[in-house]
A and B are shown apart, each in its own frame.
Chain A
Amino acid sequence: MELLYALTLGVLTMSGVYLLLRARTFPVVVGLTLISYAVNLFLFAMGRLHTGKPAVLGQVAEHADPLPQALVLTAIVIGFAMTAFALVLALRAQGELENDHVDGRGKR
């Protein structure tokens, strides 16, 4: 499971960075989304990977660390809002600059 998990993170991050470097607003936003997925999964894994362990005290003998899950929830909410904002901004930039390059110039 660890290997699969690590590979997933790696592929997500790699794709995200590649898309970021495309320097076109839409791919950049998608790239940032992929990176934030990878980061959220990474945060989650920092509580160690378990199966069948609830993050609730008192119900079972062994429980998973609830803190990373809380951190991930916060990060997801913030990341979601940020993606929405970046999208709106990208649309406005496209409208005002008539170009989808992040510098607002270059070939269309």
Chain B
Amino acid sequence: MDHLVILPILLPMFAGALLLLSGRASEGFKRSLCLLATLLQLPLAIALMAQASGGLQVYAAGNWMPPFGIVLVVDHLAALLLLVTAVLAIAAVVYAVRGDDLLGANFHALFQFQLMGINGAFLTGDLFNLFVFFEILLIASYALLLHGTGSARIRSGLHYVLLNLFGSALFLIAIGTLYGVTGTLNLADLSQRVAQLPAPDAPLVGAAAMLLLVVFGLKAAVFPLYFWLPKAYAAATPPVAALFAIMTKVGIYSILRIYTQVFGDTAGPLADLANGWLWPAALLTLVLGTIGALAASTLNGLISYLLVVSVGTLLAGLALDSHDALVGSLYYLIHSTWVCGALFLFAGIISRCRGPRFVGRLVPGPALSRPTLLSGLFFLAAISVIGLPPLSGFVGKLLLLRAAETGVAAGWLYSLLLGSGLVSIIAFSRAGSTLFWRTDPAAAAGGPVDNVRLAAVLALLLCSPLLVVFAGPLLDYLTITVDQLLDPQEYARQVLSMQISTSGGGH
């Protein structure tokens, strides 16, 4: 059996364990180990992406065959998201080794465990295993969120932890119900069982599916479950906030996976179960996130609300439920993860320059050193995240709007998405002019800009024009991804047809 599939989980696990064991070792050693382990994720993700184009890669943990054993499945979607995570994580860790990792204990170990949870959630083909990886990434994220000090962090951290603990309880109830009725938790097997569900069982399974939607909605920060996000993300340290940009996407990914492959078009009486709920929730998330962005009083708060807006946009694409809309959503997902991550890191640089008195508050502060460079970067990032040409946000939004075609849905999407873009322009120009132009002459001069941190931001931001330049090949890849996603029968066939590969290895 090819063990490459499980490496994105094992690598951060062992790196994290080693980092914990070497608690007294020098910072230099821990930083290099963490950096190395994170850098290795990139070739791994690319190798898996290349493998995925040769068909579904199924890995049966412990050689227990599906549907009884736990399987890891690499399809185009999982490989793509591993790549997105790897790129984001590298930028975050490069930023962190310049000092942010010393704000609390065990930053690097927690960072690796967080990566393990995220990678595992993308790879797993089993619902209970998904729960376990969710818990791993959550436990790490609780500690990472509290990394550093400050009462704002404690307060928002408490909300985050308690909400997610309740979310986990709901997740388990849903899993229990699904297992009790269908007798399986393997996603491939589940999709087949749900398709042949006897009518009396349908309401029970439907209820479990809707509970799952609540859980994933909480992770993805969908209206009305997004209220924890802005405070928590705005209070987190910059590299942590940047890494968390992928966490909402884990929720989106789960929604995509479960509600296209298990409760999608083929689900018999439960077909397209979530779509009626996703659409209004997506639009409300979009609107409320935009209003929040307009009202934000700190740069971090502004970016956090933009993350909520991006969740709303993505979910609207999911709810449109057409091939083109899903392609557009996935493109937008890559773009928004990287650009929001870059913005969080950038906000960290600005806060350091302005000193502890002003940090990211949107009030006139000290004149910044190297204002042209910083404001230029801010301008580029803003253009990209708002969705103005020529950067990737524009392409993403264009794909989504084109996929909406005509009709009532298109009317809502056009007006809200474009309106949200306009309001974001206002919010960003207000933030930018306050930060860069309205300086307070009485304030002490700003601190220096750290070049390594700047390089991390620059590298992530550079992905945005690259996404535009390579939009053609990327869209080809995404088209295959969505083809694969919309064909759950083929997925189930390939996963379940797996045979014991080594003689004597089975039970």
Q: Which residues of A contact B (CB under 8 A)?
A: 20, 25, 28, 32, 35-36, 39-40, 42-43, 45-48, 67-68, 71, 74-75, 78-79, 81-82, 85-86, 89-90, 92-93, 96-97, 102-104
Instruction: For chain B, residues 122 to 144, give those with C-beta under 8 angstroms from any C-beta of chain A.
Output: 128, 132, 135, 139, 142
Of the residues A35, A74, A93, contact of B155 by C-beta under 8 Å? A93
A39 in contact with B155 (CB, 8 Å)? no
User: For the complex, what is the distance from the CA of A40 to the CA of B175, rounded to whole Å?
Assistant: 11
Q: B149-180 interface mask toward A, CB cutoff 8 Å, 1 = contact, 0 = none? A: 00100110111011001101100110111011
Do residues A78 and B132 form an inter-chain contact, with CB atoms below 8 A? yes
Cα distance, A42 to B176, chains bound together (Å): 7
Contact in complex: B157, A89 (CB < 8 Å): yes
15 extra interchain contacts, Cβ-Cβ under 8 A, other than A32-B165, A74-B132, A79-B168?
A20-B166, A36-B169, A42-B172, A43-B175, A46-B176, A71-B175, A74-B128, A78-B135, A78-B168, A82-B168, A85-B161, A86-B162, A92-B154, A97-B151, A104-B155
A102 to B162, CA, bound (A): 9
Q: Which residues on the B side are within 8 Å of A32 (C-beta)? A: 162, 165-166, 169
Query: Which of A46, A79, A82, A102 is B158 in contact with, Cβ under 8 Å?
Result: A102
Taking CB atoms, residues of chain A closer than 8 Å to B168 are 78-79, 82
Q: Which residue of B lies closest to A71 (CB)?
A: B128
Whether, in the assembled complex, B146 has its beta carbon less than 8 Å from a beta carbon of chain A, the answer is yes
21 contacts between A and B (CB under 8 A): A25-B158, A28-B162, A32-B165, A32-B166, A35-B166, A36-B169, A39-B169, A39-B173, A43-B176, A45-B180, A67-B179, A71-B176, A75-B172, A81-B139, A82-B168, A85-B142, A86-B165, A92-B154, A93-B155, A96-B151, A102-B162
Looking at A25, A45, A46, A90, which has the most chain B CB atoms within 10 Å of its CB? A46
* A46 and B146 contact, CB distance less than 8 A: no
> What is the size, in residues, of chain B's interface with A at 8 Å between Cβ atoms?
25
Nearest neighbor of B180 in chain A, beta-carbon distance: A46
In chain A, what residue has the closest Cβ to B68?
A67
Report yes or no: B169 in contact with A35, Cβ–Cβ below 8 A.
Answer: yes
Q: Is the CB of A68 within 8 A of B155?
A: no
A90 to B128, CA, bound (A): 28
Residues of B that sit less than 8 Å from A by CB:
128, 132, 135, 139, 142, 146, 151, 154-155, 157-159, 161-162, 165-166, 168-169, 172-173, 175-177, 179-180
Q: CA separation between A2 and B201, bound complex, in Å?
A: 19
Q: In angstroms, how far is the closest chain B Cβ from the Cβ of A106? A: 12
With A and B bound together, what is the CA distance between A20 and B155 in angstroms? Answer: 16
Residues of B near A103 (CB, < 8 A) are: 155
Residue from A74, A82, A86 having most chain B Cβ neighbours under 10 A: A82
Interface contact B154-A102, CB-CB below 8 Å: no
Q: Are B139 and A93 in contact (CB under 8 A)?
A: no
B179 touches A86 (CB 8 A): no
CB-CB under 8 A from B146, the residues of chain A are 89
Known: A82-B168, A86-B161, A97-B155. A71 touches B179 (CB 8 A): yes
- Residues from chain B with a CB closer than 8 A to the CB of A36 are 165, 169
Which A residues are CB-close (under 8 A) to B161? 85-86, 89
Which residues of the partner chain B approach A43 to less than 8 Å between Cβ atoms? 172, 175-176
Residues of A within 8 A of B151 (CB): 96-97, 104
In the complex, A27 Cα to B179 Cα: how many Å?
A: 31
Q: How far is the CB of A86 from chain B (nearest CB, A)?
A: 6
Check B165–A82 contact: CB distance below 8 A: yes
CB neighbours (8 Å) of B176 from chain A are 39, 42-43, 45-46, 68, 71
A35: chain B residues within 8 A (beta carbon): 166, 169
> Are B169 and A93 in contact (CB-based, < 8 A)?
no
**Cα distance A71–B179 in the bound complex, in angstroms:** 11
Which A residues lie within 8 Å of B180 (CB)? Answer: 45-48
**A104 near B154: Cβ-Cβ < 8 Å:** yes
Supposing A36-B169, A39-B169, A82-B139 touch, asked if A93 and B154 sit within 8 A by C-beta, the answer is: yes
Residues in B neighbouring A104, C-beta threshold 8 A: 151, 154-155, 158
Q: Complex formed: what's the CA distance from A80 to B135 in Å?
A: 12
Q: Which residues of A contact B172 (CB under 8 A)?
A: 39-40, 42-43, 75
Instruction: Give the nearest-CB partner of B132 in chain A.
Output: A74
- Within 8 Å by CB of A68, from B135, B158, B179, lies B179
Instruction: Kindly state the separation between the CA atoms of A27 and B115 in the bound complex, as whole angstroms.
Output: 33
Q: Which of B157, B169, B179 contacts A46 (CB 8 A)?
A: B179
Task: Determine the distance from Cα of A68 to Cα of B184 in the docked complex, in whole angstroms.
Answer: 11
Q: Given the interface contacts A42-B173, A85-B139, does A102 sit within 8 Å of B159 by beta carbon?
A: yes
Q: How far is the CB of B109 from chain A (nearest CB, A)?
A: 16
Residue of A20, A35, A90 with most partner-chain B CB within 10 A: A35
Smallest CB–CB gap between A92 and chain B, Å?
Answer: 6
From B142, B155, B158, B159, residue with most partner A Cβ within 10 Å = B158
Chain B residue, CB-CB nearest to A41: B176
| Minimum distance in angstroms from B477 CB to a CB of chain A | 35
- Could you say which residues of chain A place their CB within 8 Å of the CB of B157? 89
Provide the bound-state CA to CA distance between A75 and B134, in Å. 12
A88 to chain B, nearest CB (A): 10
A71: chain B residues within 8 A (beta carbon)? 128, 175-176, 179
Asked whether, in the complex, the Cβ of B165 is within 8 Å of the Cβ of A89, the reply is no
The 3 A-B pairs with the shortest beta carbon distances in the complex, nearest first, are: A46-B180, A43-B176, A104-B155
- Cβ-closest chain B residue relative to A43: B176
Q: Which residues of B contact A90 (CB under 8 A)?
A: 158
Most buried by A among B142, B146, B157, B169: B169
CA distance A63 to B166 in the complex (A): 33
Query: In the bound complex, how far is the Cα of B175 from the Cα of A105, in angstroms?
Result: 36
Minimal Cβ-Cβ distance residue in B for A92: B154
